Chains A and B, each alone.
Chain A
Amino acid sequence: MLTKRIIPCLDIKDGRTVKGINFENIRDAGDPIELGALYAAQGADELVFLDITATNERRKTLAELVTRIARHVNIPFTVGGGISSVEDVNILLQSGADKISVNTAAFKDPGLVDILAREFGSQCVVLAIDTRFEGDDWYVYLNGGRVKTDIKAYDWAKEAVNRGAGEILLTSMNNDGTKKGFALDITGKLSQNLNVPVIASGGAGNMEHFVDVFENAQADAALAASIFHYKEIEIPALKTFLYNKGVNVRF
């Protein structure tokens, strides 16, 4: 039976992890490879590396980093952050990334999703959506949540799936950082109506929140960053907890 996935997310800047202190058992918590390999050894099902570097050297640094990750990490990983062209994607996949995620660039030019799916296959095209609930519905935000649009998250997700996106990574801005749980309603709406996996992100604060998002929102995967980095929740304990609650997970 296909299992629910637990995905730690690592923010990368200039080839280094931004968060990720509090790991006395590895030599360098700023090293994405060490941290990634540690999560893999602990039973993480996948990893997401989100690059927030803004320099011109960005592309080259990231490609080199992706190669190093691919050499050392024996589970699948996705690379995202500022990806805007077929060329970007080609370099990252050639460097060893299993999937890439696109966000703002895909929203501004939805044809990019079609091209990427056709060139590289839907299985490696993850559409990332940052969304906020406002008034009556969940709306898409761009540029890391700084720019509001008047397009509903569900509508954009549906269009992107029709264009060939193979997975949706949905981050609720209302929930992100609150530690009060995932956005169950919009996650559930996407997961139950779209025929691609939905990765829930934003709001994880305790182990019960993961049960909620898997059982009540039918998320296929759950992503979190700081609770793993600061060891508030450790992956082996989380998996045991989920298993005991009847959630199908990999050990």
Chain B
Amino acid sequence: MKTVIIKYNAGNIRSVQFALERLGVEGTVTDDHDEIMSADKVIFPGVGEASTAMQYLKERKLDQLITNLQQPVLGICLGMQLLCRHSEENNTDCMGVFDVDVKRFQSPVENLLKIPQIGWNNITGLHSVVFEHVPENAYMYFVHSYYAALGADTVAITNYVINYSAALQKDNFYAVQFHPEKSAEAGARIIENFLNL
């Protein structure tokens, strides 16, 4: 089995690679079109800013490549947001695989909301094969200021002032807002489930 991690100008690729390594899987970091297309599994990670990331992907035509992939794809954090329709982060048009928009957390009037959300939060309403053997209310590690709204593709929900999509799934595209590569055993289980698809 060949697993690739898409290389672009957004960080945390090393962590994903190490998480795969802990599961005994080698992840090849690449932006080569042929390498990505011929992979069995594609991981699309990312920590960073939406507009510069989208621009980088477009310049290399990676956006078209990604949306046309037929094998299982796992978007993580910014990777998930870029697979959505549009992001409020610098008013960025994204790839539109998932039919939801990405918005910025808003502090309610009555109390101060810390942005970004940093830390462990629980995920509920789990209904995807990637959550097999992951218990309802499992805790995952989140670091983000923008969130994907709820929609038809939502397969896990988290609450931070409002309910939003902790995970999305449509056809061969799977995506999580949290960092499974940093979410202890429960996170490793999700990556393993994805690799076993």
Interface mask (B135-160 → A, CB under 8 Å = 1, otherwise 0): 00001011111000000000000011
Q: Does A197 contact B (CB under 8 A)?
A: yes
Q: Which of B14-22, B37-45, B79-87, B167-175 contacts A (4 or more CB under 8 A)?
A: B14-22
Q: Is the CB of A96 within 8 A of B18?
A: yes
Q: Is the CB of B14 within 8 A of A3?
A: no
Q: Which of B24-32, B64-72, B92-100, B114-122 contacts A (4 or more CB under 8 A)?
A: B114-122
Q: Which of A23-31, A101-109, A117-125, A145-153 contacts B (4 or more CB under 8 A)?
A: A117-125
Q: Does A59 contact B (CB under 8 A)?
A: no
Interface mask (A146-182 → B, CB under 8 Å = 1, otherwise 0): 0000000000000000000011000000000000000
> Smallest Cβ distance from B76 to chain A, in angstroms?
13
- B: residues with CB less than 8 A from A are 11-12, 14-15, 18-19, 21-22, 47-49, 107, 112-122, 139, 141-145, 159-160, 179, 181-185, 187-188
Q: Which residue of A lies closest to B111 (CB)?
A: A192
Supposing A2-B117, A195-B112 touch, asked if A76 and B14 sit within 8 A by C-beta, the answer is no
Q: Which residues of A contact B184 (CB under 8 A)?
A: 40, 74-75
Q: Which residue of A lies closest to B159 (CB)?
A: A1
Q: Which residues of B contact A98 (CB under 8 A)?
A: 12, 15, 182
Leading 8 A-B pairs by shortest Cβ distance: A250-B139, A250-B120, A96-B14, A123-B143, A3-B120, A2-B121, A76-B182, A71-B18
Q: Which residues of B contact A122 (CB under 8 A)?
A: 116
Instruction: Give 6 A-B pairs besides A122-B116, A123-B145 with Cβ atoms closer than 8 angstroms.
Output: A3-B119, A75-B182, A75-B183, A220-B114, A220-B118, A250-B120
Interchain CA distance A198-B117 in the complex, whole Å: 12
> Smallest Cβ distance from A124 to chain B, in angstroms?
8
Q: Which residues of B contact A93 (CB under 8 A)?
A: 11
Q: Is the CB of B120 within 8 A of A123?
A: no
Interchain CA distance A192-B113 in the complex, whole Å: 10
Q: Which residues of B contact A196 (CB under 8 A)?
A: 114-115
Q: Which residue of A lies closest to B117 (CB)?
A: A2
Interchain CA distance A5-B187 in the complex, whole Å: 17
Q: Which of B115, B119, B183 contacts A220 (CB 8 A)?
A: B119
Q: Which residue of A lies closest to B140 (CB)?
A: A250
Supposing A70-B14, A70-B15, A196-B114 touch, asked if A121 and B49 sit within 8 A by C-beta, the answer is yes
Interchain CA distance A43-B21 in the complex, whole Å: 22
Interchain CA distance A75-B120 in the complex, whole Å: 10
Q: Which residues of A contact B107 (CB under 8 A)?
A: 195
CB within 8 Å: A-B pair count: 87
Q: Does A94 contact B (CB under 8 A)?
A: yes
Supposing A2-B121, A93-B11, A95-B14 touch, asked if A75 and B141 sit within 8 A by C-beta, the answer is yes
Q: Does A51 contact B (CB under 8 A)?
A: no
Interchain CA distance A94-B7 in the complex, whole Å: 13
Q: Which of B19, B49, B118, B121 contacts A197 (CB 8 A)?
A: B118
Name, among B11, B22, B119, B188, the residue most crowded by chain A CB atoms within 10 Å (CB to CB): B119
Q: Is the CB of A74 within 8 A of B188?
A: yes
Supposing A74-B19, A96-B14 touch, asked if A197 and B119 sit within 8 A by C-beta, the answer is yes
Q: Does A183 contact B (CB under 8 A)?
A: no
Q: Which of A2, A95, A193 contacts B120 (CB 8 A)?
A: A2
Q: Is the CB of A120 within 8 A of B11?
A: yes
Q: Does A112 contact B (CB under 8 A)?
A: no
Q: Which residues of B contact A167 (CB under 8 A)?
A: 118
Q: Which residues of A contact B117 (CB under 8 A)?
A: 2
Q: Does A221 contact B (CB under 8 A)?
A: yes
Q: Which of A71, A75, A121 contacts B21 (CB 8 A)?
A: A71
Chain A, range 214-237, C-beta contacts under 8 Å to B: 220-221
Q: Which residues of A contact B120 (CB under 8 A)?
A: 2-3, 5, 45, 250
Q: Which residues of A contact B181 (CB under 8 A)?
A: 74
A to B CB contacts below 8 Å, 29 in the list: A1-B121, A1-B122, A2-B121, A3-B119, A3-B121, A5-B120, A45-B120, A70-B15, A70-B18, A72-B22, A74-B22, A74-B185, A74-B187, A75-B141, A75-B182, A75-B184, A98-B15, A98-B182, A121-B11, A123-B143, A123-B144, A124-B47, A167-B118, A195-B112, A195-B113, A196-B115, A197-B118, A220-B118, A250-B139
